[in-house]
Amino acid sequence: MKIAVTGSSGLVGSALLPFLAAEGHRVTPIVRPRTRPGPGQIVWDPDAGRLDPAALEGVDGVIHLAGENIAGARWTPERKMLLRESRVKSTRLLAETLAKLEEPPRVLISASATGYYGDRGDELLTEESASGSGFAPQLCREWEDAADAAAASGIRIVKLRFGIVLSPSGGALARMLPPFRAGLGGPLGGGRHYMSWIALDDVTAVIRHALLNEGLRGAVNSVAPQAVTNRDFTRTLARVLGRPAFLAVPPFVLRLAFGELADALLLASVRAAPARLEASGYRFLYPALDPALRHLLGRSR
């Protein structure tokens, strides 16, 4: 397939491009001007609303991963605006451009997040579950809605609601590793909130599955089938590393350090299930946390 990808330099994109290329697909990054585009790359500027439709003619699939890191800084009003524009504005520009093509792609895969559900305690969440309240769920709703503009040309739209993507190269796990390796790790708050996670290897395989599976469309929870509590995640990571993990971080410390972001991301309980993925025949490479961490960190039993 001819595939165009935004966010190609991010955690997921940098793993996805060589994965798809190794399978024989022709992958073209969609990049911003500041990245000094190379030969064959497609340049866009979502802030200015610029994307050349001609560059996308004849593409079979588009994967949209671009977006400012939601956990990169405290959520000031300015930061919230940046997060919203980096997701909603860019998604709308891409979807509207694809809808106008003479030869539109067969599929648009657009990233979203399990933040769509908000803090839901022990409730088991499928794609049929209602959205939550607060900034993160609202952002996810607007983000997903912006992709619907591509449906005008009959493009199949898949909205992958990613959980916590586990990789030692970046994201949450990479930030956890230094304190845990030093024996300074521990649960956040009471540790009873659920974490919906997915190994990076499964992320790339899920995207390939979404590209090729014509029956998969709409919202898709991209999470491992075994969500765990933060306390269980902590114990498992400590066991895999062979280190203690007794230093719990009280909620007030997290709120002082991160503000609103602490309750919305670090302490929120999201117990999502990959109902549509499993119904479509996807088989997880790493459905359980211990084997996933041992694989990612190179730690045999």
Cα 101 from Cα 93, distance rounded (Å): 13
Q: pLDDT at residue 122 above 70?
A: yes
Q: Out of 7-21, 36-50, 201-215, 283-297, pick the least confident.
A: 36-50
Residues 6+ apart with CB under 8 A from 69: none
**Matching residue, tokens 């609303």:** 49
pLDDT in tens, 210-225: 999 999 999 999 999 9
pLDDT at 229: 98
pLDDT at 300: 79
Mean of pLDDT values over 81-97? 96
pLDDT at 33: 84
If you average pLDDT over every residue of the chain, what do you get?
A: 95
C-beta of residue 13 within 8 angstroms of C-beta of residue 7: yes
CA distances from 248 to 143, 154, 228, 232 (A): 34, 50, 17, 13
Residues 6+ apart with CB under 8 A from 223: 114, 161, 162, 163, 196, 197, 198, 272, 273, 274
pLDDT at 17: 97
pLDDT at 46: 94
pLDDT at 82: 95
Mean of pLDDT values over 8-32? 96
pLDDT at 152: 86
Q: Six-digit token pair at 166?
A: 């586990």
Longest dimension (CA), the chain: 59
Burial class (CB in 10 A: 0-12, 13-18, 19+), 77: exposed
Confidence of residue 37 (pLDDT cuts 50, 70, 90): low
pTM of full prediction above 0.85: yes
pLDDT in tens, 102-113: 999 999 999 999
Cα 116 from Cα 155, distance rounded (Å): 23
Mean of pLDDT values over 115-141? 97
pLDDT in tens, 253-279: 999 999 999 999 999 999 999 999 999
Alpha-carbon 134 to chain mean position: 19
- Which CATH superfamily hosts domain 2-166+196-223+271-280? NAD(P)-binding Rossmann-like Domain (3.40.50.720)
